[in-house]
Amino acid sequence: MLRPLLSLSFALALPLAAQAESLTLYTSQPNADAQSTVDAFMAANPGVEVEWVRDGTTNLMARLQTEITAGDPQPDVLLIADTVTLEALAQDGQLAAYKSPEAEAYDPALYSADGYYYSTKLITTGIVYNTGAAEVPTSWKDLAKPEMKGMVAMPSPLYSGAALIHLATLTGDETLGWDYYQALADNETLAQGGNGGTFKAVAAGEKPYGVLVDFMALRAKAEGSPVEFVFPEEGVSYVTEPVAIMKKAEGNATAQKFVDFLLSQQGQELIVTQGYIPARNGVASPEGFPQRGDITLMAFDPAKALADTEANKDRFAKTFGVE
């Protein structure tokens, strides 16, 4: 949904003070979340009008790259699935550095030290299991046990961005590494498609165990689906839907207000109403979700994950014998 801008001739005819501030947002949020985010921001900032474009991260970044190549990027701000995508833009000089005063309420691991992007929520990846399963896993290593051979499903990092970040996180852990992924492959773990396919397989009992993003399992459980979700003892990988200001909007006070709003107490409470774990310390999670302080986040370096992306994909494909 786009909010049309005033025609240029009419806008120029208005007194400068009467013209609304405008902001263009590119986001990969689901439509309902994007609409509620924009509406809440405009309600908190009367006189600001937001145009927004929503698409999947891959499609949105392809569109943005075409605009950048043409020398005319359209968005002022981005609200995109993961930090690796924004790290690539930052390294390419496309993002503006902004030091938000709200950052002091966040774990430094959740935002760029230079202020190029800030996490707005936590979407963690853990273990889902069918309530009819024989064993309750507590560790990532449990999924590689011989007795779970052929019983585990997970999204493919060749298809899912969250799964690719999960791969980078676990292979970077000294207690797991690539040996763990080799053990999963040897254990005939099904690795294909995205999180939706994994959830369906576990909920239907086709595979008793799976690797899944938290909200998909926890929301389904609340609605009566026969699944449970585990935050493994080693910790969880995570994507964070970070927000960033484009270089073209450097110094744009309205763009800075948008970042500050999403990171503020009010913005993070909005995240909770949308059904996600907030990234800000001290904000209560949605009902049925663990509290922010009770979740162990595994170490993750967006810059290293970006540098290793193609090598990680290639090694995964060879390990699992897929294309």
At residue 20, the pLDDT reads 66
What confidence tens digit (pLDDT) does each residue in 163-217 have? 999 999 999 999 999 999 999 999 999 999 999 999 999 999 999 999 999 999 9
Residues 23-36 have a mean pLDDT of: 97
Question: Does domain 8-120+240-289 fall into CATH 3.40.190.10?
Answer: yes
Per-residue pLDDT tens digits for 119-129:
999 999 999 99
Nearest to 143 by CA among 105, 103, 185, 177: 185
Cα(121)–Cα(297) distance, integer angstroms: 13
Domain boundaries, the chain: 8-120+240-289, 123-238+301-320
Q: What is the pLDDT of residue 119?
A: 98
* pLDDT at residue 5 is higher than 60: no
The CATH code belonging to domain 123-238+301-320 is: 3.40.190.10
What are 19's two structure tokens?
Answer: 């013209």
Percent of the chain scoring above 70 in pLDDT: 93
User: Which ranges constitute the DSSP H helices of the chain?
Assistant: 8-13, 31-44, 57-69, 83-91, 161-171, 177-186, 195-203, 214-222, 253-263, 265-273, 302-320
pLDDT at 263: 98
Q: In the prediction, which pLDDT does 262 show?
A: 98
The pLDDT score that the predictor gives to residue 15 is 45
Looking at the DSSP bridge assignments, the partners of residue 294 are none
Q: Is the pLDDT of residue 103 over 70?
A: yes
CB-neighbour burial class of residue 274 (10 A; exposed 0-12, middle 13-18, buried 19+): middle
3 state DSSP class of 129: strand
Q: Summarize pLDDT for 6-17 with one digit per residue, the tens.
A: 333 333 444 444
Cα separation of 290 and 122, whole Å? 11
**Residue 246: pLDDT over 80:** yes
Instruction: Say if residue 116's pLDDT is above 50.
Output: yes
Distance between CA atoms of residues 285 and 163, nearest Å? 23
Q: Which of 163, 180, 183 is nearest to 171 (CA)?
A: 180
Residue 73: how many CB atoms within 10 A of its CB?
Answer: 21
Predicted confidence at residue 19, as pLDDT, reads: 54
Encode pLDDT of 286-319 as tens digits.
Answer: 999 999 889 999 999 999 999 999 999 999 999 9
Backbone angles phi, psi at 172, to 5 degrees: -85, -5
pLDDT of residue 14: 42
- Mean pLDDT, the chain, integer: 93
The two structure tokens encoding residue 195: 């999180």
